[in-house]
């Protein structure tokens, strides 16, 4: 039975290197087969290319290192290298060239207000919430397209009251039985959602969401 998939081979023969595509079956051309290629991606990059992309993103070496989850000395070494550079960084750079907006999508905005709340699902950031408690202002940035995973669902500009409602949804209600005993166990003098979440991380038995508070 014929195979209807495309099969790609990089091979050598008297005419040099060619990329062979055949729609039916696996064709073994004359010459030695070097390897089968499943993805047409670059095999290496260069110091010049890495530096060019980093500067196009307006990132320092330290910021670029944090973005791609490596150390600053690694970026410095890459940008000084006279040899070609291989590894996972190569296809990632290619994707950045095609989708430079990705850097802005995952970028954390500068913290300008005292309170920052990270609404998490397992280890993934769902919503970043910046709060000015004195002026009762709230700004958010969503990092997921899943509406049910966002702190405020479809709302992009929640007000302060909606922020308080969100906090209360991540801890027990004020009307709960034996609330004073629960507060005593938590070492809290009175009911305050943000203080409770600082103790419990906003964890609930029925889901894997939690909250990290940064002051």
Using an 8 Å Cβ cutoff, are 115 and 213 in contact?
yes
* Residue 198 neighbours by CB under 8 Å, 6+ apart: 213
Check residue 31 and give its pLDDT: 54
Q: Based on the fold, state whether residues 155 and 195 are members of the same structural domain.
A: yes
Residues 128 and 179 in one domain: yes
> What is the pTM (predicted TM-score) of this model?
0.74
Judge whether 42 lies within some domain. Answer: no
88 and 129 in a single domain? The answer is no
Query: Phi/psi of residue 115, each to 5°?
Result: -110, 125
Provide the residue range defining the domain that includes 81: 47-106
Note down pLDDT in tens along the chain; length 215 residues.
Answer: 434 333 333 333 333 334 433 333 444 555 555 567 788 888 999 999 999 999 999 999 999 999 999 999 999 999 999 999 999 999 999 999 999 999 999 999 999 999 999 999 999 999 999 999 999 999 999 999 999 999 999 999 999 999 999 999 999 888 888 889 999 999 999 999 999 999 999 999 989 999 999 99
Question: Domains in the chain: how many in total?
Answer: 3
């Amino acid at each position: 039975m014929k195979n209807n998939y495309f099969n790609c081979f990089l091979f050598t023969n008297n005419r040099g290197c060619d990329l062979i595509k055949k729609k039916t079956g696996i064709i073994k051309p004359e010459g030695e087969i070097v390897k089968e290629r499943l993805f047409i991606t670059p095999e290496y990059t260069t110091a010049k290319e890495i530096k060019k992309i980093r500067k196009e993103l307006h990132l320092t070496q330290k910021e670029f290192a944090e973005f791609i989850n490596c150390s600053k000395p690694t970026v410095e070494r890459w940008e000084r290298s006279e040899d070609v550079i291989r590894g996972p960084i190569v296809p990632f750079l290619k994707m950045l060239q095609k989708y430079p907006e990705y850097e802005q999508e995952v970028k954390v905005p500068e913290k300008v207000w005292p309170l920052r709340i990270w609404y998490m699902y397992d280890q993934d950031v769902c919503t970043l919430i910046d709060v000015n408690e004195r002026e009762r202002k709230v700004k958010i940035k969503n990092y997921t397209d899943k509406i049910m995973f966002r702190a405020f669902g479809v709302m992009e500009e929640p007000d302060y009251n909606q922020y308080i409602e969100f906090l209360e949804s991540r801890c027990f209600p004020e009307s709960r039985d034996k609330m004073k005993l629960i507060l005593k166990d938590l070492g809290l003098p009175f009911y305050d959602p943000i203080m409770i979440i600082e103790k419990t991380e906003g964890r609930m038995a029925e889901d894997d969401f939690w909250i990290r508070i940064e002051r």
